[in-house]
Amino acid sequence: MTISTPTHAVSSHIDEPWFREEHVLFREQVRRFVEDEVKPKAEAWEETGFVPRPVLKKMGELGFLGVRYPEEYGGSAMDTVATAVLAEELGKSTFGGFAVTVLVHTDMASPHLVNAGSKAQLDKYLPDIIAGKKITAVAVTEPDAGSDVAGMRTTAKKDGGDYVLNGTKMFITNGVHADVFFVAAKTDTTVKGTRGISMFIVEKGTPGFTVSRALKKHGWLSSDTAELVFDNCRVPAANMLGEENKGFYAVMKNFQNERIVLGAQAMGEAQTALALTIDYVRTRKAFGATLWDKQAIRQRIAMLSAKVEAARQLLYKAAWLDAQGREIVKDVSMVKALCGELVNEVMYDCQQFHGGFGYIRESAIERMVRDARIQSIGGGATEVMLEEIAKRL
């Protein structure tokens, strides 16, 4: 089903303080790509369960997969605000599975390589990652250890010039089709808590590493998600990312980036849902007038619009602060908690105002409701985020 652009599509925000001209131009480029290459085709990706590789390669050719990475490797050397712009525009596509496929590659997995990789590792992997020739995934979450990284059970034991990995990873986005995985494992099991964790580069096809199953999900249907198993998987010691036993700090550092892009994706989704709903209620008639003529409906939409704009400004403030090198743990935790909950509030009312049509699979709103549900869970559940905020109050 081809989805037309809402007549109330959000402006380019050129006059907002967070943006420079390069951000506005970048937004327009991403928006055109979404209109031309995603919306007309992504319904088929929902059926197949993944985003076709040629689409990702085209995004690489256009410079969308290395927004903040060094120019010497093919990146654009932009800032965190540009990352948020990318995520927001992908969120507006109405296909959350497509958006998260890209964002895991650009802002949740590959940053581990850029932040901690040696020159040899960067030279080997980063150009193809930026070009979309190799797609990445990050494997931290386990069946019994999600936001609680301290509960990790996957181990990596040194054996000669290798590390031998054993364990299971769960809910891994891009896990079925990725080429390069950044895997967290315990390298020192004698210490408790978050100490003793290291990060490794594991390539698809490494003996002992298998995708045990593709997971069927409630939403994000065009995103492939997998359970991974490491059974005496030998990884060269040269594939360790950063320092041994310092992987927890790498995971925590990148959580901030992950939560910014998830917040931006959520706000892109919320804006488009409201725009689609305004178009619908302005034309849908009931009891002799349009739904827009019902005061309760238009006032509820007005309040949701105000909330989304407020959350969006908080999001871009956090991205701007990060671009200035400022501490943002409290800010980004607020972003993740607020945006993850708000997008679900928006979707509930938008589906309600669409009536029966909002419950039918051919409706964009129906899909967006399913896709939004994970936003208060993935990347740090709301309850975890609120504790992070409370610690800093």
- H-helix or E-strand spanning residue 163: strand 162-173
Residue 97 sits at φ, ψ, to 5 deg, of -65, -40
Catalytic residue (choose from 258, 309, 341, 345): 258
Displacement of CA 132 from its chain's centroid (Å): 16
Closest listed residue to residue 379, CA positions, set 96, 58, 28, 5: 96
Q: What angle do CA 252, 254, 258 make, to 5 degrees?
A: 115
- Which residues, at least 6 apart from 194, have a Cβ–Cβ distance to it below 8 Å? 149, 150, 248
Which 8-state DSSP code applies to residue 218? S
Could you give the CA distance from residue 176 to residue 376 in angstroms, rounded to a whole number? 24
Q: What angle do CA 257, 262, 264 make, to 5 degrees?
A: 95
**Residue 258 designated active-site:** yes
Helix segments in 204-246, DSSP class H: none
Could you give the CA distance from residue 201 to residue 109 in angstroms, rounded to a whole number? 11
Could you give the CA distance from residue 139 to residue 29 in angstroms, rounded to a whole number? 31
Closest listed residue to residue 194, CA positions, set 150, 252, 255, 253: 150
Could you give the CA distance from residue 91 to residue 27 in angstroms, rounded to a whole number? 12
Residue 38 sits at φ, ψ, to 5 deg, of -110, -60
- Which residues, at least 6 apart from 326, have a Cβ–Cβ distance to it below 8 Å? none
- Taken in order 360, 361, 367, 369, the sign of the CA dihedral is positive
Q: If DSSP codes are grouped into helix, strand and coil, which group holds residue 137?
A: strand
Question: What are the beta bridge partners of residue 159?
Answer: 162
Q: Please report, as a single letter, which amino acid is at residue 333.
A: S
Could you give the CA distance from residue 85 to residue 323 in angstroms, rounded to a whole number? 13
Q: Give the catalytic positions in this structure.
A: 258
